[in-house]
């Protein structure tokens, strides 16, 4: 029998603030962090973003990292979120931990700041995705295993799924998993070239939606076997009860009309958790605000849940689409919702679309008793992932 995988710590950095408390308050009060770019050196200020409201230097000082080198924001966000997660469950001094982090941008912001000049003497190369994971680990404790997942916007969720598998297969008792992603010019310009950026705050599932807002941030969850958590006397925040991943390879960037990959991922997650669709109390949708994604995900949700569709909302109208980090940031939001008994609403939703589901809207979070929550993260190429977080009984 596979061990139960529980969650004993989490840390979050997003446009809503630094730390679980700041993010939870903003979600419950319906306060968005999307605004005009302040720290990203871009000329395209017509596109609002979900930027973390601290400079890289302020983040470095907050983390008390040595001066004299350039730090990627991916590294800095990740270190802040990881430290909070480890501190929450008293693992800051623990030796021999495993870290799995999802990212695609890595240290691209540093590379852009130096281009076309070479690296300064003594400056380590931080561009590589794996380098950012190792930097995050080195800033936070004693890790003897690191791994980097880069599957576009499903990266961080796939890191969580990989962590779950390591524990279930007896490879590890504790795995810290999640992801970190920083905004970069290449990042913003790439999505601009796809013509899927909105000039206003994004409106997932709304008939007037015209694209996404990019965001940045990080989140890490401490995954642990139930036996290990009980032995340590750790507080258990929830259970990572189910996980699914599928790839329909429909198109490089677009989702299939019938949401085939998304449907398979959600179905696998339900099967893995031993649950029926009727057991799900809330779905945190991928919900980017692009016409294609929202229609495709709606089709998949209808296939999975039929007439018994639970409350659904997208939190990307709060943080922007944090791309590779979105799966862990939104998993952390789901854990907050599960723990505190609320459903985040979509303040920007006004106009139903016959092609889409109708999300939960309003000005403040709904107070609801939750037992099982589903969270979706879908990446380019049809790499689609879904997890289920459950209350610990």
5-232 against 242-390: fold identical? yes
Select the more confidently predicted residue: 366 or 252: 366
Report yes or no: 371 and 359 within 8 Å, Cβ to Cβ. no
pLDDT score, position 204: 97
- Where do the structural domains in the chain lie, given as residue ranges? 5-232, 242-390
DSSP for 84-122 reads: HHHHHTT-TT--SEEEEEE-SSTTHHHHHHHTTSPPPTT
* pLDDT of residue 383 exceeding 90: no
Residue 259 falls in which region: left (phi positive, over 0), alpha (psi -120 to 50) or beta: left
Q: What is the pLDDT of residues 184-199, one digit of tens each?
A: 999 899 999 989 999 9
User: How high does pLDDT run on average in the chain?
Assistant: 94
3-state secondary structure of 207: coil
* pLDDT of residue 381 exceeding 80: no
3-state secondary structure of 366: strand
pLDDT score, position 254: 56
* pLDDT of residue 54 exceeding 70: yes
Report yes or no: 158 and 381 within 8 Å, Cβ to Cβ. no
Select 242-390's CATH number: 3.40.630.10, 3.40.50.300, 3.40.47.10, 3.30.930.10.
Answer: 3.40.47.10
Q: Which of 73-77, 153-157, 378-382 has the lowest mean pLDDT?
A: 378-382
| Percent of the chain topping pLDDT 90 | 84
Q: Which of 56-65, 112-121, 146-155, 311-320 has the lowest mean pLDDT?
A: 112-121
Q: What is the pLDDT of residues 59-88, one digit of tens each?
A: 999 999 999 889 999 999 999 999 999 999
Select 5-232's CATH number: 3.40.190.10, 3.40.50.2300, 3.30.365.10, 3.40.47.10.
Answer: 3.40.47.10
pLDDT score, position 289: 93
pLDDT score, position 365: 85
* Per-residue confidence band for 252, with pLDDT thresholds at 50, 70 and 90: low
Active-site amino acid positions: 153, 286, 321
Helix (H), strand (E) counts: the chain: 12, 13
Q: What is the mean pLDDT of residues 200-223?
A: 97
Query: What distance, in Å, lies between the first and last C-alpha atoms of the chain?
Result: 18
pLDDT score, position 247: 81
pLDDT score, position 21: 97
Q: Which of 120-124, 165-169, 227-231, 266-270 has the lowest mean pLDDT?
A: 120-124
DSSP for 292-352 reads: HHHHHHHHHHHHHHTT----EE-THHHH-B-GGGHHHHHHHHHHHHHHHTEE--BTT----
pLDDT score, position 183: 97
Select the more confidently predicted residue: 250 or 36: 36
Select the more confidently predicted residue: 387 or 379: 387
Q: Say how far apart CA 233 and CA 58 lie, in whole Å.
A: 35
pLDDT score, position 122: 79
Select the more confidently predicted residue: 16 or 125: 16
Q: Say how far apart CA 157 and CA 286 lie, in whole Å.
A: 11
């Amino acid at each position: 029998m596979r061990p139960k995988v529980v969650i004993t710590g989490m840390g979050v950095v997003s446009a809503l603030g630094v730390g679980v408390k700041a993010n939870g308050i903003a979600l419950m009060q319906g306060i968005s962090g999307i605004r005009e770019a302040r720290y990203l050196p871009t000329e395209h200020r017509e596109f609002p973003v979900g930027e973390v409201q601290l400079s890289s230097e302020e983040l470095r000082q907050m983390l008390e990292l040595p001066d004299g080198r350039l730090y990627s924001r991916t590294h800095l966000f990740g270190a802040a979120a990881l430290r909070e997660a480890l501190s929450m469950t008293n693992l800051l001094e623990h030796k021999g931990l495993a870290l799995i982090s999802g990212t695609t941008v890595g240290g691209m912001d540093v590379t852009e700041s130096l281009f076309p000049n070479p690296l300064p003497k003594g400056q380590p190369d931080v561009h590589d995705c794996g380098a950012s994971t190792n930097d995050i680990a080195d800033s936070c404790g004693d890790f003897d295993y690191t791994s980097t997942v880069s599957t576009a916007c499903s990266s961080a969720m796939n890191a969580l799924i990989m962590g779950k598998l390591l524990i279930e297969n007896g490879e590890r008792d504790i795995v810290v998993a999640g992801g970190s992603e920083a905004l970069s010019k290449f990042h913003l310009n790439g999505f601009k070239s796809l013509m899927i950026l909105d000039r206003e705050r994004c409106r997932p599932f709304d008939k007037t939606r015209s694209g996404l807002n990019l965001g940045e941030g990080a989140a890490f969850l401490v995954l642990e076997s139930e036996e290990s958590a009980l032995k340590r006397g750790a507080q258990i925040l929830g259970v990572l009860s189910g996980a699914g991943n599928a790839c329909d390879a429909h198109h490089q960037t677009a989702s299939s009309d019938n949401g085939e990959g998304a449907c398979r991922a959600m179905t696998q997650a339900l099967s893995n958790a031993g649950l029926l669709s009727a057991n799900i109390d809330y779905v945190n949708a991928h919900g980017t605000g692009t016409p294609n994604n929202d229609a495709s995900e709606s089709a998949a949700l209808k296939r999975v849940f039929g007439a018994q569709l639970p409350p659904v909302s997208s939190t990307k109208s709060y943080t922007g689409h944090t791309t590779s980090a979105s799966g862990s940031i939104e998993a952390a939001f789901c854990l907050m919702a599960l723990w505190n008994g609320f459903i985040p609403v979509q303040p920007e939703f006004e106009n139903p679309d016959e092609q889409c589901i109708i999300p939960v809207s309003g000005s403040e979070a709904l107070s609801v008793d939750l037992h099982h929550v589903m969270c979706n993260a879908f990446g380019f190429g049809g790499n689609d992932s879904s997890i289920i977080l459950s209350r610990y009984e």
